[in-house]
Amino acid sequence: MSAINPVEWEVSPGLVPYQSAVRSMEERVAAIGRGAAPERVWLLEHPPLYTAGTSAKEQDLLEPRFPVFKTGRGGQYTYHGPGQRVAYVMIDLTRRGRRDVRLFVRDLEEWLIRALASLGVQGERRKGRVGIWVKARDGREDKIAAIGVRLKQWVTYHGVSLNVSPDLSHYSGIVPCGIAQEDLGVTSLAKLGTGASLRDTDAALKGAFVDIFGEVIEAPITESA
């Protein structure tokens, strides 16, 4: 396995348009694959929108209240919007000697679980359900973080989204991730009463990422993709 250089860690302020973010990811993934750019984790927020993964079912789009984008990531329908921290993860699995998609997803899950723990939230995996879940007081289980990835020549992109303080009513336009059971829903750090800000969440994500994936190096703040 080749020596692993620090991963570039970038945080974009404001709302980044989805299509420009995808273009930026694709360009960076190609550069990483050529060995012309470092690995990258890109934290951002999107304007309100829905994305359809490769397993999305047409009937799960209940009401297209916001723009809908078809995307090559795995998974079904999900929502992105203000107050949700999206983290796009561009990692070269070949360079890391770990060409195992399931193991990579497991690492993403562990990353989110550790970050949530540092914010006082117990996030958990659930067999047969993608993402990270929390137990509610009434016996429900709510999803707090989603995972959807794609690979190109063993370089990963897309990634995870963690609900910090989004408008959860925006999820009503879709069946999130195909989960329609009445005892399952979505939640956020705000709804759980943590008081965590985006800045707090970013710090938690960074600390947990270093533990699992290795060192990071700050990238200059940019205004857009």
Give the H or E element holding residue 87: strand 84-90
C-alpha triplet 4, 1, 96: angle, nearest 5°: 55
Give the H or E element holding residue 169: none
Per the structure block, which two tokens stand in for 141? 């289980």
Q: Strand 77-80 relative to strand 49-52: parallel, antiparallel, unpaired? A: antiparallel
Please give the Cα distance from 163 to 187 (Å, whole number): 7
User: Do residues 26 and 19 lie in contact, with contact meaning Cβ atoms separated by under 8 Å?
Assistant: no
- The burial of 98, by beta-carbon neighbours within 10 Å (0-12 exposed, 13-18 middle, 19 or more buried), is given as middle
User: Do residues 52 and 17 lie in contact, with contact meaning Cβ atoms separated by under 8 Å?
Assistant: no
Please give the Cα distance from 34 to 95 (Å, whole number): 11
- Which residues carry out catalysis? 177
- The burial of 17, by beta-carbon neighbours within 10 Å (0-12 exposed, 13-18 middle, 19 or more buried), is given as middle
